Chains A and B, each alone.
Chain A
Amino acid sequence: MISMIRDATTIARRNMIRIRRVPEVMVFVIIQPLMFVLLFAYVFGGSIDIPGGNYREFLIAGIFTQTVVFGATFTASGLAEDVQKGLINRFRSLPMSRSAVVAGRTASDVVYNMLSIIIMSLAGLAVGWRIRGSVLDAVVAYLLLLFFSYSFSWVMACLGLLVPTPEVVNNATFIVLFPLTFIANTFVPSDTLPGVLKTIAEWNPVSTLTHAVRVRFGNLPAETPKPTAWPLQNAMLYSLGWAILLIVVFAPIATRLYQRTGKR
């Protein structure tokens, strides 16, 4: 266990060095989240009406969740690149812990996400977003975002070890993540959605995560009706449950995949 943590730290340290050297990482971690906040705030900000509220304020939590969920794809493309470049083979020939490469990668992606969230928070504050809840609630909201993203990174790790090239990652994830983050309450209240989509949105963990964060930040207008769907009523618990489930299921799979990946 100690050697696992030590090796994962070594791998995470290596990934952190890359953030300064690889421009794509910079764009993905810093520029893109910044753009999302500004674009949504100014392009949709004026045309979408939230009863009794301010759309920009409503929106920020949605952008946070969307960014951290998409941020998890970094785990996939990073591992896929390591496989393609032959680094995974190097690691697999070393007497290091078998789970450290994936664990180090998912850990460093938390740091990437943390950076993204800081940038987005600052941009949010600049366009008029405010944290209206308590400091403790805000901390809980941030931690929940990071933990959910971390758990999702393990799913993405499996994908990264399965795809033939890093380029496939973006296409494969887009098909899943786009509906996942849009058939939700990320950008509009879920009760505005028609029939089946509404039910999907209500049970979508991205919705519950957004809802929980939004409530903790105090960004939900006072006159918003209480949610009727069980997941949204228990948003915090439901989101945490999903996160734990994803880790329990996908962490062992990712470690197994790592052990048999690599070029021959």
Chain B
Amino acid sequence: MNDAVRSTHSGEFAVEARGLTKRYGGVVALDGLDLSVPTGSVLGLLGPNGAGKTTAVSILTTLLTPDAGTARVAGVDVLSEPQRVRSLIGLSGQYAAVDEHLTATENLEMIGCLYGMRRRAARKKANELIERFRLSESANRPLKTFSGGMRRRIDLAGALLADPPVLFLDEPTTGLDPRSRGELWDVIRERVQAGTTVVLTTQYLEEADQLAHEIVVIDHGHAIARGTSQELKRRIGGEHLDIHLAFPEDLSRVETIVRPFAIGAIRIDDQEALVSIPVATGVEALGSVMVELSAQNVEIVDIGLRRPTLDDVFMDLTGHKSQEDQS
């Protein structure tokens, strides 16, 4: 997504935040976060629980006042004109819910009315979205009878109802099965194609990889890395060597064998009996490791080289950080 197909304001950035800071008592939730989201693009805010993602979204959606910093959404200042900002955004996520005792239609109609639409227009729009999300058959059932995935779709529909130019999606697919997740991704992509700017928080690296043009990795309230998914992968460089062992008992022995070849943190997955190491020179390392392993009689199921994933990026970034903290 390069240029905005549809832009409701002349600015280059749909979301701009400078130095956002928020403390709760002694805990720093946000520590000077800067964000710039070009109009029509998707920003992925990636980080573990408690990293400050939801706090950032809460500030940008006017739910929370920052202790310091400024923010503009669709060109409007969040602190001085919150009510105008609210008419330009849609929010969906873990903490912005729908009424489980109301039907899908009733929920969406209510949200439409509260955006200032006329009741009939709100109902028409609600029905369109319900059809689009393939929920027509369940439209007149209270949401408490819905599955998690269906409920999330209604939640997202609520955010889309007034066609806001900027969407904030706070962990939109947390807790969903892969199929529901894929369906939600399709809907989000569709909106982005129509020119909507999206800020998306997620704990799933795959989600950021799939949807976001730019990713900001946050930890302890500030950005520890930013760039496209490609750039982030390139940053940690090289390739990864994955070794699947036949017997999990060999894991620690293998770790010792491969240590000299690793250029970063070695990742060990006990359940999968997998050892994953970042290496500088792929093929060379692969050959040497195989020789060592067979010399020591370690039985392997599979061994292979792969390009780094966002998972590796994240492990690498936060791994370094926590080591710094300890020293």
Give B261-284 interface residues, CB cut-off 8 Å to A: none
CB distance from B268 to the nearest CB of A (A): 35
Whether the pair B97, A22 counts as a contact (CB closer than 8 A) is no
Q: In the docked arrangement, what's the CA distance between A190 and B102, Å?
A: 45
User: From residue 72 to 107 of chain A, which have CB atoms closer than 8 A to chain B?
Assistant: 85-87, 89-96
Interface centre among B54, B58, B63, B98 (most CB of A within 10 A): B63
Is A3 interfacial (CB 8 A cutoff)?
yes
Residues of B within 8 A of A86 (CB): 94-97
Q: Which of B36-44, B85-93, B302-310 contacts A (4 or more CB under 8 A)?
A: B85-93
Taking each of A22, A86, A90, which has the highest tally of chain B beta carbons within 10 Å of its own beta carbon? A90
Q: Which of B53-82 contact A (CB under 8 A)?
A: 54-55, 58, 61-64
CA distance A235 to B142 in the complex (A): 46
- Tell me which residues from 114 to 157 in chain B have a Cβ below 8 Å from any Cβ of chain A: 114-116, 142
Known: A17-B102, A21-B142, A94-B86. A10 touches B97 (CB 8 A): no
Q: Which residues of A contact B61 (CB under 8 A)?
A: 93
Within 8 Å of chain A (Cβ to Cβ): is B99?
A: yes
- Does A7 sit at the interface, judged by CB under 8 A? yes
Indicate if the CB atoms of B83 and A89 lie closer than 8 Å.
no
**B106 cross-chain contacts in A, Cβ below 8 A:** 14, 17
Please give, as numbers and ranges, the residues of chain A lying within 8 Å of B115 by CB-CB distance. 94-96
Question: In whole Å, how far is B53's beta carbon from the nearest beta carbon of chain A?
Answer: 11
A264: chain B residues within 8 A (beta carbon): 29, 54-55, 58, 63-64, 95
B158 is an interface residue with CB less than 8 A from chain A: yes
Complex: A90 Cα to B94 Cα, angstroms: 11
Looking at A7, A18, A93, the one whose CB has the most chain B CB atoms below 10 A away is A93
| Contact in complex: B101, A93 (CB < 8 Å) | no
* Bound CA span A96–B83, Å: 8
Determine the chain B residues whose CB is within 8 A of the CB of A89 once the complex forms. Answer: 63, 91, 95-97
Contact (Cβ within 8 A) B116 A90:
no
CA distance in complex: A201, B306 (Å)? 81
CB pair B63 A94 closer than 8 Å: no
Q: Is the CB of A87 within 8 A of B99?
A: yes
CB–CB A91/B114 < 8 A: yes
Main secondary structure of the interface of A (DSSP, over half): helix
Q: Which residues of chain B are near A85, meaning CB under 8 Å?
A: 97, 99-100
Interface residues of B in 99-114 (CB under 8 A from A): 99-102, 106, 110-111, 113-114
Compute how far the CA of A128 lies from the CA of B112 in the bound complex, rounded to whole angstroms.
49
Is B86 a contact of A93 with CB atoms below 8 Å?
yes
Contact residues in B for A93 (Cβ distance below 8 Å): 61-63, 86, 89, 91, 96
Whether A226 sits at the interface, judged by CB under 8 Å, is no
Partner of A263, one of B84, B91, B95: B95
For A87, give the chain B residue with the smallest CB separation: B97
* Bound form: Cα–Cα A17–B62 in Å: 29
Interface residue from A17, A18, A90, A96 paired with B98 (Cβ < 8 Å)? A90
Could you mark each residue 158-191 of chain A with 1 if its beta carbon is under 8 Å from any beta carbon of chain B, else 0?
A: 0000000000000000000000000000000000
Q: Is A262 an interface residue (CB 8 A)?
A: yes
Decide if B91 touches A21 in the complex (CB within 8 Å).
no
Contact A90 B100 (CB under 8 A): no
Please pick, from A21, A92, A95, the residue contacting B116 in the complex, using a CB distance under 8 A: A95
Whether B55 pairs with A90 at a CB distance below 8 angstroms is no
Say whether B113 contacts A10, CB under 8 Å: yes
Chain B nearest CB, measured from A131 CB (Å):
36
On whether A10 and B62 interact (CB within 8 A), knowing A21-B101, A85-B97, the answer reads: no
B114–A96 contact, CB under 8 A?
yes
Please, which residues of chain A bring their CB within 8 A of the CB of B58? 264
Q: How far is the CA of A91 from the CA of B62 in the complex (A)?
A: 11
A10-B110, A14-B110, A17-B106 known; A92+B101 contact, CB < 8 A: no
Q: How far is the CA of A119 from the CA of B264 in the complex (A)?
A: 74
Are B111 and A90 touching (Cβ within 8 A)?
A: yes
Smallest Cβ-Cβ distance to B62: which chain A residue: A93
Q: Are B86 and A95 in contact (CB under 8 A)?
A: yes
CA distance A10 to B109 in the complex (A): 9
How many angstroms from the CA of A189 to the CA of B63 in the assembled complex? 51
Tell me the smallest distance from the CB of B155 to a CB of chain A, in Å: 9
Residue pairs across A and B with Cβ atoms less than 8 A apart, 23 shown, are A6-B113, A13-B110, A14-B99, A14-B106, A17-B101, A18-B99, A85-B100, A86-B97, A87-B97, A90-B97, A90-B98, A90-B158, A93-B61, A93-B62, A93-B96, A94-B111, A95-B87, A95-B114, A95-B116, A262-B63, A263-B95, A264-B54, A264-B63
The residues of B with any CB-CB pair to A shorter than 8 Å are 29, 54-55, 58, 61-64, 83-84, 86-87, 89, 91, 94-102, 106, 110-111, 113-116, 142, 158
Given pairs A85-B97, A85-B99, A92-B62, 11 additional interface contacts (CB within 8 A)? A14-B102, A17-B102, A85-B100, A86-B97, A90-B91, A91-B114, A93-B89, A93-B91, A93-B96, A95-B86, A95-B87
> Which 6 A-B pairs have CB atoms at the shortest separation, nearest pair first?
A86-B97, A95-B87, A95-B86, A93-B91, A96-B114, A10-B113
